[in-house]
Copies of this chain bind each other. A is one copy, B any other.
Amino acid sequence: MKLYDCQIAPSPRRVRIFLAEKGLTMEKIEVDLLGAENLKPEYLKINPRGLVPTLELDDGSRIDEVVAICRYIEALHPNPPLMGTDPKSAALIESRNRHMEIDGFDAAADAFRNSAPAFANRGTQGVPKPVPAIPALAERGMEGLNRFFAGLESWLGENEYIAGPSYTIADITGLIAVDFAGWVKMEIPAGNKNTKRWYDAVSSRPSAKA
């Protein structure tokens, strides 16, 4: 197996942390997103949607989308479990992981892609045609991040980790969402003690450096 990766991008980092938590290593091929290598014909043969990460299996088939890649890895390497151990825990973790994606990651992406000068004409990822940034969408993203941080603080007041008593894929997505929010200068609010306690714990795991 090999992973088409990009060191600076939030999405492939989710897979790298997942692999690190499993104690797995893998060949990685760096794709230069800033140089738009993901939109060149060579990479579009690998992933027609022009996105990273992509996992290539030894039989040549390819899986994209972070959670699909992680679930494949989880099936082959179930320990430590990061996506649940029975139907109910798996569903609750998947649900919470989606909240981290939609409320956190997507809001940060809206805020960042629609405000960063380097993305002025790259409003939609994977699209070669110029897509102008929408400043109002950046604002909507910032408001979404405020709600995200409020929700996170509430959940983490009830549980040690985002989806319950154990570290799971939802913590990986949550960590990446919080770090991505930092790209638009949105930090964990000063009074959010539960979130800070959790962030210190997950960001100091060795996997966070992956």
Number of chain copies forming the complex: 2
- Contact indicator A65/B99 (Cβ below 8 Å): yes
Given known pairs A134-B134, A136-B134, A140-B134, the reply for A65 and B94 (CB within 8 Å) is: yes
- Contact indicator B131/A64 (Cβ below 8 Å): no
Of all chain B residues, the one with the shortest Cβ separation from A154 is B48
Decide if the interface of chain A is mainly helix, strand, loop or mixed.
helix
- Mark interface residues in A35-64 (1 if CB within 8 Å of B CB, else 0): 000000000000011000000010001011
- Contact indicator B127/A131 (Cβ below 8 Å): no
For A147, list chain B residues within 8 Å (CB).
127
- Contact indicator B131/A98 (Cβ below 8 Å): no
- Contact indicator A75/B90 (Cβ below 8 Å): yes
For A95, list chain B residues within 8 Å (CB).
63-65, 68
A49-B103, A49-B151 given; name 19 further pairs at CB < 8 Å: A48-B151, A49-B99, A61-B92, A63-B95, A65-B95, A67-B94, A67-B98, A68-B95, A69-B91, A72-B87, A72-B88, A72-B90, A75-B87, A75-B90, A124-B140, A124-B144, A134-B136, A134-B140, A137-B137
**What are 30 sample pairs from A and B whose C-beta atoms fall under 8 A apart?**
A48-B151, A49-B151, A57-B88, A63-B88, A63-B91, A64-B95, A65-B94, A65-B95, A68-B91, A68-B92, A68-B94, A69-B91, A71-B87, A71-B91, A72-B87, A72-B91, A75-B87, A75-B90, A76-B87, A123-B140, A124-B140, A124-B144, A127-B147, A131-B140, A134-B134, A134-B136, A134-B137, A134-B140, A136-B137, A137-B137
